[in-house]
Amino acid sequence: MGRTCFREMNMDRRELFTLALSAAGATVAGPALAAAADGHGATPATERATDHAAVLVDTTLCIGCRSCEEACQRANHLPAPEVPFSDRWVLNTPRRPNATRFTVVNAYEGRPSPDSRDRDKTYTKVQCLHCVDPSCVSACIVGALKKRDDGPVVYNPTICIGCRYCMVACPFEIPAYEYSEPLLPRVRKCTLCTGEDRLGKPKPACAATCPVEALVFGKRDELIALARSRAAKNPARYEDHLYGEHEVGGTSWLYLVGRPPTEIGLLELQEAAPPRLTEAIQHGIFKYGALPVAVYSGLAGLMWLTNRNRPQGGAK
């Protein structure tokens, strides 16, 4: 009988402890979730990003020459690919950036814009988009990733602990890990050419080498104005959607498209920046000491439950 009561009491304790934690978390996280969903308390990052370094990609101009890929490899001292840059057949197989290539160009069959230069395919360049409010920076627990005041998201390998939270957090699935490096692996991605050997250079290597000026480097607000001007002058050529202006809080790479973004490999994402939601929950939970309150509430409940099941008045 005593053992049965003890097991039942333990079950009650676990349930009570779980309920206490859930109630405390819901009490604090609930308003945080509501605030994040309504946009209240969100950091107006896009307002501060007007002069951020950015690149406008006009996908209706890109000819798939892979010059940007080659320039990126050289500027970042990356190993040469197995397939030479002159080979355009690789464009037909969707590729992703990885630890040895920071940017790739993919080709997409289908409906072209009316006066595009290539009426059979659309080419899309893929790389780190350098978010205005980056999830990777928010997820990094040691500050190895930082958002510079002028826009680029940069990485410090000397303090990285290899947790790879940034890879999980990135909505564009861009950061890559050097799994082949057993001693000092790094997280690798586009740097917007901010390395020491690029200081003083006017443009990122990819934008500087584009032969058709499908890549335009400049300030984010100026590039948004340029994109809107092009679209207004030729509405039949462009979709009414500047990709990256609002996606996940805005990005420093902006795509002017002649087809729906999802048709050319661009992900459909929400406008709210993920860090605004996750950080709101985290700050809400810890701001008022919800976890200590939950723990002590659980302990108090256990004491009450123990006293309730203790025999009263001693044995007779």
pLDDT at 290 over 70: no
pLDDT at 43 over 50: no
Return the number of other C-beta atoms located less than 10 Å from residue 220's C-beta: 26
Residue ranges and CATH numbers for the domains of the chain are 14-42+276-309 (no CATH), 48-133+191-269 (3.30.70.20)
Q: What pTM was estimated for this model as a whole?
A: 0.74
Token pair listed for 48: 């501060």
pLDDT at 164 over 60: yes
pLDDT at 90: 93
Distance (Å, rounded) from C-alpha 105 to C-alpha 63? 10
Give the three-state DSSP class for 66: coil
pLDDT at 49: 75
pLDDT at 5: 46
pLDDT at 304: 75
Question: Model confidence at 40, in pLDDT bands (50, 70, 90)?
Answer: very low
Contacting residues for 240 by C-beta, under 8 A, at least 6 apart: 231
Token pair listed for 34: 């509501």
Distances in Å between the alpha carbon of 98 and those of 118, 151, 165, 179, 206? Answer: 28, 22, 16, 11, 17
Mean of pLDDT values over 39-57: 71
Task: Specify the range with the lowest mean pLDDT, choosing from 35-44, 177-186, 291-300.
Answer: 35-44
pLDDT at 118: 45
pLDDT at 3: 45
Higher pLDDT, 171 or 40: 171
Proportion of the chain above pLDDT 70, given as a percent: 71
Distance (Å, rounded) from C-alpha 132 to C-alpha 221? 12
Distance (Å, rounded) from C-alpha 26 to C-alpha 109? 48
pLDDT at 250: 96
- Considering only CA atoms, which of 137, 171, 149 is closest in space to residue 248? 171
Token pair listed for 150: 């002028």
Mean of pLDDT values over 128-142: 96
Mean pLDDT, rounded, of the chain: 82
pLDDT at 167 over 90: yes
Check residue 307 and give left, alpha or beta (phi > 0: left; psi -120 to 50: alpha): alpha
- Considering only CA atoms, which of 90, 173, 77, 62 is closest in space to residue 127? 173
CA dihedral 20, 25, 27, 32 (to 10 degrees): 180
Contact (Cβ atoms closer than 8 angstroms) between residue 219 and residue 51: yes
pLDDT tens for each residue of 91-133 = 989 999 999 999 999 999 876 555 554 457 899 999 999 999 9
pLDDT at 37: 47
pLDDT at 168 over 60: yes
Amino acid at 201: K
Taking the mean position of all CA atoms in its chain, how far away is CA 130? Answer: 8
Give the three-state DSSP class for 78: coil
- Considering only CA atoms, which of 53, 42, 96, 1 is closest in space to residue 222? 53
Give the three-state DSSP class for 181: coil
In 39-66, alpha helices (H): 45-48
**DSSP summary character for residue 212:** T
Distance (Å, rounded) from C-alpha 71 to C-alpha 105? 13
